[in-house]
Structure 1
Amino acid sequence: MIRKQRRSLSLLTASILAALTVPAWAAEPFVVRDIRVEGLQRVEPGTVFGYLPVRVGETFDDTKGSEAIKTLYNTGFFKDVQIRSENGVLVVVVEERPAISQLDFVGIKEFDKDTLRRSLRAVGVAEARSYDRSMIERAEQELKRQYVARGYYAAEVQSTVTPIERNRVSVVFNVDEGSVAKIREINFIGNKVFKESTLRDEMQLATPNWLSWYTKNDLYSKQKLTADLEALRSFYLNRGYLEFAIESTQVSITPDKKDIALTINIKEGEQYKVSDINFSGELLGKQEEMEKLLKLKKGDVFSSEKLTETTKAITDLLGTYGYAFTTINPQPQINQETREVALTLVVDPGRRVYVRRINVVGNNKTRDEVVRREMRQFESSWFDGEKLKLSQDRINRTGYFTDTNITTEDVPGAPDQVDVNVNVTERPTGQLTLGLGFSSTDKLVLQAGIKQENVFGSGTSLGLDINTGKAFRTLSVNHHDPYFTIDGISRTTDLYYRTSRPLYYAGNGDQDYKVVSAGGGVKFGVPFSELDTVFFGIGYENTKLDVTNNTPQAYRDFVRDFGRQTHNFPFTIGWARDGRDSALVPTKGRYQQANLEVGVPGGDLQYYRGSYQHQYYYPLSKAFTLAFNGEIAYGRGYAGKAFPVFKNYFAGGIGSVRGYDTASLGPKEANGDPIGGASKLIANVEFIFPLPGSGVDRTLRLFTFFDAGNVYGEKENYNLSELRYSTGLGLSWLSPIGPLKLSVGFPLRRKPDDRTQRFQFQIGTAF
């Protein structure tokens, strides 16, 4: 075995010794009749010929001999090179360096071996490459650097090189990781205004605590320290300390390399207030609009964050007029005596820019037109940053993409033009189900269906659904075209045959009540603004009720008044306003919808049922979102007829009030079976945050929730004292088969006749 050792000869020494071996011909040049290479095993002869400074028929002398030896050594392929002549034949004798046949690691726990192999390749050490002792030493240092970056300052690395057949070697890195060094102290010198605890809260690095096993923030990192120093600087600048400076930082480690102490020496200076704010430069007649965007006012404590928000708002404003490259240069004038600062915002709008071309990238399946019809920035028009933002939101709201990124790039030779690149990341929009499924309410379910939300990339959806659940059975076909007309009128067509047994939710398994509905309808959506759409629809329903003497009285009363079979022509009108940044995983914005369904004369049923829903998403940060949802619904019969019992609203379970059994809240029959109600009131609050270890992945998130709600009978008024409450936590996942939600709920106000269900799941809805 070959242990760690110094190179026996440096490149210069090897070249000199090799040159001394050149025979007497070196002093006497000769014409080369042929060239022969000896000693090659893996290197191709052509490689050697390519490096030689002489060809057949040329004169070879001692200068070219020295150059040839030096050049061949520098390739790194050979550890010995000799040149001699035999009757005009130039003979090149080489001894190749061994090749690395195997690269392995022993004692590695902190890193994945493949990750380390990739990092060593960057320093020239990899399988199939030539063995070089100096490269191995560099690899050892690289491994130590990787460990130091993660706080393993005591890590030791030693390599073992073993020769094997066919001039190859096996390289094994033996690693003693040792224990990770933790930050035991973070001290500040020079702070008078703020306590050390306040400053530590602004830092990512921290001393060990109960969450350190996950955050790793107690492990020193130069990159983290640099970021923390910037965070401290921003903290002071946002509070008016313009003279703040970090004078020095000291990082000390104990002799056993297990503990680290950080000492940060700062100068706070004095707090400054804003004495005045003025504009200069090319204001383009927009000064009055710019002044309305000021986040800082005269007399306010200076804030770097508010100044940045101001410059961004002005940049966005001028961007709507085609000035895509606006720069705002704040120039402060500091008065140390009065501790005030006067700000002058120098505006340079640059040139007005036009959009030459819009390029759609990443849509392997979706047609360009599906993306382009959502664009509100047009080619050959002024660049408008606000329209680009609106375009991005509209593309995200289609639901066909997990992410949309819009960038601009200059057009070479055209300083007043830019190209807009729309880069989308497609998500699977097709769903094929065949086989057995499981539902928290229906237990074992046979499902078969096919649904494609983006048929052939056209932006239309087509679905066929079959469900054999015991509570609900469905056979339906639906088609939705969001651009039925070129100006954005949508059309939705559906045909269905449904069987429902609402009492099955009660858990008694009764088969004595069943609603069978068959029908269809068509609905059109007319956009009235970028966010607002009004819907109109008409349909036909044929409904049959099967009842027995065991069926709750409300259902038997309906059959007595209307008969077992009814015909209904429901007319619907609705409104929706969607201002969310995404239809699948919203993080900000509002969604509102109102719907009214009326059983028109000509059918057997005369009723109306209206509902209103309002969702609001507030981003607390890039990773955390606070979401609110409220729903209110109300239904009554008219023309002297009762409200149809099978049009009742239900509440309870995921999608309404979690923690209670599905559809179990509200009015009940004498035997305790829930029958729903003609009106409903629901409220939900969710705090959404990323799954630990997933970064800011929006497709997989955790949430905590607080729910409230109930349903009320036709002759009841809304009664807040009858609301049910629950809290809990859950997981939402944008799975390949649709949005999936799992929740564990805990009822907070449970009445004796309430049924609870802790674990629930649902595929489809946002709340």
Structure 2
Amino acid sequence: MGAAPQQVSSAQQVPAPPQSAQSDDRAAEQPIVPEAEFDKALPPLSSDINAPLEQITLEPVGTPPPVAATPPATNGTATVQPTPATVVPAPVDLDQPLPPLASFDSVPLVTVADKAEKNPEIRYETVVAGLDKVGLEDEFKAHSVLKGKGKAANAAVVSARAHEDEELAGRVMRAAGYYDGTAVGTIETIPNEPGRVRARINATPGKLYHLGAVKVDAQPTVPSDLIANALALKTGDPIEAGRVQGAEANIATVLPQNGYPFAKVGQRDILLDELTTTGDYTLPIDTGPRATFGGYTTTGKLAFDAHHVGVLARFKPGQIYDSRKVDDLRQALIATGLFSTASVEPVKTGKPGPEGTEQVDLLVRQVAGPKRSLSVSGGYSTGEGFKLEGSFTNRNLFPPEGALILNVVGGSQEQGAGATFKRSNAGKRDRTFSAGVTADHSNYDAYNAFTGTVFARMSYDSTPIWQKKFTWALGVELTGTNESVYDFGRARDVRRTYFIAALPGQAQWDTTDSLLNPTKGYRVKLSLSPETSVQGNISPYVRSLAEVSGYYPISDSIVLAGRVRAASIAGVSRDDLAPSRRYYGGGGGSVRGYGYQRLGPFDPKGDPVGGRSLNEFSIEARYRFGNFGIVPFFDGGNSYESVLPKGQDLRFGAGIGGRFYTNFGPLRLDVATPLNKRKGDGLIALYISIGQAF
């Protein structure tokens, strides 16, 4: 009989361990399968390493595994009876070759999830509270990720955006001096509006921190208050990031402008006091030595040497270093058009300068660009016909900055060619010397001329990169021209040859903001040219012209532009002048609506003969939208046989133009009509060119 079971409380009842587990410790240390019995069960191994592997038999798919018989139990010890393995032959398919890859169907299976419709988006609205009290709500909204209202794929996306805006609110408050500010973003559902949630950003700015002690750790400067005046921070100012960073940036700018090219602004330290809501500010600055300009060195692929760099500089050795003058020198280098890249930087020399300073040299790093260029321009206007101009330029054929320019003009009524030598910055900054020869044939209603000219000119000019307020030019011209002219005494056209010597001069004062497309400012130009014409006898005279133009912006998109011009030739009769030296009105740069040179006196055949005086005016309203513009205009004027222009017999033209604005200036297309049309005047005149009319 078995022993009766013990009675235990429910708290003590545990499953009884198997009888085999109740053996003593010595029995527990014995191996479950004796080693000799395990080795005996292993199959014999061949000593031939090249022998083929034994065949492995597999059970066919779907064959249930054999069920072992329940082992008999003896005195609580289970004895396992081994069951012989059933050898099943391998499936026939495994002996067959694999089918080719091309026979497999590569189209993926379509699941129910693939056919499910796209999850609907949810919409949200944003509520911001607390920032308006300290004037930071607009700053927050300008950088917000939520952007007030919107939609997202799911609520998790809205939550992520709210978290970003929560951090943004904290940064905005700290940047404004609210260092104790906190912000919490939450997402809440909107009752009775499924698919919509509300993102709420609640900000608590706290108290505004102000500057306590302001200390600058730097070497003495000249003048002694240079840094203090530049820092512009004082005790009691709000600790605003923009204000502090702007003050430090100002120091980094002012010091190099006043003799400290190597100044370095260190990392600020602000010690905040929560009790007083103040912060003590400390800024380390290494001013470096006070410096004066020394010499020049240059390296790289050179366009010209260090001596010519000194010609471009607007300062002299020994002057206090000023970074603004260094920037000016860099701009002058770029304006030459000879460089791909150019930089200027100060270099310590260790040499003493005046007033306890140290001399610094300027290192100019040059990378010379292509010297040669081709350019083409063209246009059309009623009276002048088509005109195409091309030029070839070698900008540095004669270093430094000695250019050779070859140009050609081809048109329906003008053909010509010329060669010009041009030396920019000729011995002095912004001074240009040029000399050349031209040959030209012109065939207009006013005259038919074959003209050759030799000229030389010294000028102080503006460029699109460096526009100057005051410019001037002085020159000399020798011209020989054979022209058709109407002889009123003979009542027919004759050809005459004229030899002309001239000393043309010009001065201009320009306050506009652009050479090709001014929007504000004014220009005043005066031209004077004493000349002598030799045609049988010597006839000295003076040609003069005055022009004033102004530009007034009515709004961001509309500019009101106006121009007045008057000209005179004194000292000679009109008929003793070469027709090409007389004044004519009409055309794209004059009174639009009338043909080129067709304003003024006429001969009996109806061809213009020109005059000795001229007056003109123009008014335009330039409306621009993007890269396009519309320009209605009204012009008036005439030319006269008298020495001085008259206020009567004015001719008027009006029209409208289109503009296409490019980075090199506006493309202009104007259509105009004469308002007091004469016999022979066309109904419509067309003008196409580059640049504004004036």
TM range (shorter): 0.5 to 0.7
What one-letter code is carried by the residue in structure 2 that aligns with 1:318?
L
How many angstroms does 1:493 deviate by?
A: 0.9
Task: Indicate conservation of the 8 Å contact 2:379/2:388, yes or no.
Answer: no
Q: Does 2:403 match 1:464?
A: no
| Equivalent residue in structure 2 for 1:573, among 500, 505, 508 | 505
Aligned partners of 1:283, 1:719: CA distance in 2, in Å?
Answer: 74
How many angstroms does 1:513 deviate by?
A: 3.5
Q: Does 2:688 match 1:760?
A: yes
| Equivalent residue in structure 2 for 1:597, among 521, 528, 532 | 528
Q: Does 2:471 match 1:537?
A: no
Partner of 2:458: 524
Provide TM-score, normalisation by structure 1: 0.48
Partner of 1:351: 289
> Alpha carbons of 1:460 and 1:633: their partners in 2 closer, same or farther (altered >3 Å)?
farther
Aligned partners of 1:421, 1:183: CA distance in 2, in Å?
Answer: 62
Q: Does 2:682 match 1:742?
A: no
Q: Does 2:607 match 1:607?
A: no
> Alpha carbons of 1:403 and 1:472: their partners in 2 closer, same or farther (altered >3 Å)?
farther
- 1:321-360 equivalent positions in 2, closer than 5 A: 321-326=258-263, 349-353=287-291, 358=296, 360=298
- 1:504-515 equivalent positions in 2, closer than 5 A: 513-515=447-449
Q: Does 2:672 match 1:730?
A: no
> Alpha carbons of 1:713 and 1:344: their partners in 2 closer, same or farther (altered >3 Å)?
farther
Q: Percent of pairs identical after alignment?
A: 15
- 1:54-69 equivalent positions in 2, closer than 5 A: none
| Equivalent residue in structure 2 for 1:189, among 128, 131, 151 | 128
Task: Indicate conservation of the 8 Å contact 1:572/1:595, yes or no.
Answer: no
- 1:281-680 equivalent positions in 2, closer than 5 A: 284-286=221-223, 312=249, 315-326=252-263, 349-353=287-291, 358=296, 360=298, 363=301, 371=309, 373-376=311-314, 383-401=321-339, 404-407=342-345, 420-423=362-365, 428-432=370-374, 439-441=379-381, 450-455=392-397, 458-485=400-427, 490-503=432-445, 513-525=447-459, 534-547=472-485, 564-575=496-507, 594-600=525-531, 604=539, 606-611=541-546, 633-639=565-571, 641=573, 646=580, 647-648=582-583, 653=588, 667=599, 678-680=614-616
How many angstroms does 1:417 deviate by?
A: 7.8
What one-letter code is carried by the residue in structure 1 that aligns with 2:420?
N
> Alpha carbons of 1:302 and 1:431: their partners in 2 closer, same or farther (altered >3 Å)?
same
Give the match's secondary structure for 2:337: coil
Q: Spell out, residue by residue over 1:326-356, the C-alpha distance to the aligned partner (whole angstroms, 9 max, x if none).
A: 4578999999999999999987634324678
Task: Indicate conservation of the 8 Å contact 1:366/1:456, yes or no.
Answer: no
> Alpha carbons of 1:513 and 1:186: their partners in 2 closer, same or farther (altered >3 Å)?
farther
Aligned partners of 2:238, 2:401: CA distance in 1, in Å?
Answer: 52
What one-letter code is carried by the residue in structure 1 that aligns with 2:688?
Q
Task: Indicate conservation of the 8 Å contact 1:296/1:302, yes or no.
Answer: no
> Alpha carbons of 1:272 and 1:249: their partners in 2 closer, same or farther (altered >3 Å)?
closer
> Alpha carbons of 1:589 and 1:321: their partners in 2 closer, same or farther (altered >3 Å)?
farther
- 1:152-231 equivalent positions in 2, closer than 5 A: 187=126, 189-190=128-129, 191-192=131-132, 200-201=141-142
Task: Indicate conservation of the 8 Å contact 2:636/2:652, yes or no.
Answer: no
Task: Indicate conservation of the 8 Å contact 2:311/2:429, yes or no.
Answer: no
Task: Indicate conservation of the 8 Å contact 1:273/1:339, yes or no.
Answer: yes
Aligned partners of 1:675, 1:249: CA distance in 2, in Å?
Answer: 83
Aligned partners of 2:467, 2:616: CA distance in 1, in Å?
Answer: 30
What one-letter code is carried by the residue in structure 2 that aligns with 1:678?
L
The total of aligned residue pairs comes to 525
Aligned partners of 2:443, 2:630: CA distance in 1, in Å?
Answer: 30
Task: Indicate conservation of the 8 Å contact 1:280/1:344, yes or no.
Answer: yes
How many angstroms does 1:243 deviate by?
A: 2.6
What one-letter code is carried by the residue in structure 2 that aligns with 1:639?
G
What one-letter code is carried by the residue in structure 1 that aligns with 2:637?
Y
Q: Spell out, residue by residue over 1:524-582, the C-alpha distance to the aligned partner (whole angstroms, 9 max, x if none).
A: 2479x996664321212334432569xxxxxx799999994444332223346799999
Task: Indicate conservation of the 8 Å contact 2:166/2:184, yes or no.
Answer: no
Give unmatched runs, 5+ long, in structure 1: 1-162, 164-175, 210-218, 253-258, 504-511, 550-555, 692-701, 734-738
| Superposed CA RMSD | 7.0
Task: Indicate conservation of the 8 Å contact 2:593/2:654, yes or no.
Answer: no
Aligned partners of 2:368, 2:559: CA distance in 1, in Å?
Answer: 25
How many angstroms does 1:758 deviate by?
A: 7.7
How many angstroms does 1:245 deviate by?
A: 8.6
> Alpha carbons of 1:468 and 1:720: their partners in 2 closer, same or farther (altered >3 Å)?
closer
Give the match's secondary structure for 2:330: helix
Give the match's secondary structure for 1:284: coil
Q: Spell out, residue by residue over 1:143-162, the C-alpha distance to the aligned partner (whole angstroms, 9 max, x if none).
A: xxxxxxxxxxxxxxxxxxxx
Aligned partners of 1:559, 1:207: CA distance in 2, in Å?
Answer: 84
Give the match's secondary structure for 1:387: helix
Task: Indicate conservation of the 8 Å contact 2:637/2:652, yes or no.
Answer: no
- 1:81-92 equivalent positions in 2, closer than 5 A: none
Give unmatched runs, 5+ long, in structure 2: 1-100, 102-113, 151-156, 188-195, 640-644
Partner of 2:83: none
Most deviating of 715-724 and 359-368? 715-724
What one-letter code is carried by the residue in structure 1 that aligns with 2:442?
S
> Alpha carbons of 1:321 and 1:365: their partners in 2 closer, same or farther (altered >3 Å)?
closer
How many angstroms does 1:391 deviate by?
A: 0.6
How many angstroms does 1:382 deviate by?
A: 5.3
Structure possessing the higher radius of gyration over alpha carbons: 2
Aligned partners of 1:198, 1:665: CA distance in 2, in Å?
Answer: 60
How many angstroms does 1:756 deviate by?
A: 6.3
Q: Spell out, residue by residue over 1:430-478, the C-alpha distance to the aligned partner (whole angstroms, 9 max, x if none).
A: 23579xx864447776767533233265312212222221232222221
Q: Spell out, residue by residue over 1:245-283, the C-alpha distance to the aligned partner (whole angstroms, 9 max, x if none).
A: 98569799xxxxxx9999876566688999999999666
What one-letter code is carried by the residue in structure 2 that aligns with 1:606?
Y
